[in-house]
Amino acid sequence: MSEWQPGGPSRLDMLLFLERVQEMDLARTREWIKREEERLAQGAAVPEYVAQNGSGPAMGMIHKGTCRPLGADVHAVTADDARRLLHADVTFACQVCRPDTALGLL
């Protein structure tokens, strides 16, 4: 932490801000846990691929079913649909799980 500067936020203000940020992170993680527990309770099988909806002007993304990003708005798609969405340039392939490689697109 840098030196305290006159007129700036106090060290206590900054610590209280940090506390609020961490409380929001914890609340978000607890919501993810609740959703995952609900998903598991429904006996949901892991789909082969999922499409993640884009937010705002952002394009969507295709993932392997095992790379479901926590908290993301996703829905299951078949391999054919995943291939079609990637071909149509309306979605990106996730750079972590590389569904494009698994689909033989590279």
Residue found under tokens 């305290």:
4
Per the CB < 8 A criterion, the answer to whether 72 and 52 are in contact is yes
Q: Which is nearer to Zn ion, 10 or 95 (CB)?
A: 95
Provide the binding-site residues for Zn ion, judged by CB under 5 A: 63, 67, 94, 96-97
Token pair of 79 as six digits: 């391999």
Q: Distance between CA atoms of 35 and 43, rounded to whole angstroms?
A: 13
Q: Which is nearer to Zn ion, 67 or 102 (CB)?
A: 67
State the minimum distance, in angstroms, from the CB of residue 19 to Zn ion. Answer: 32
State the minimum distance, in angstroms, from the CB of residue 44 to Zn ion. Answer: 18
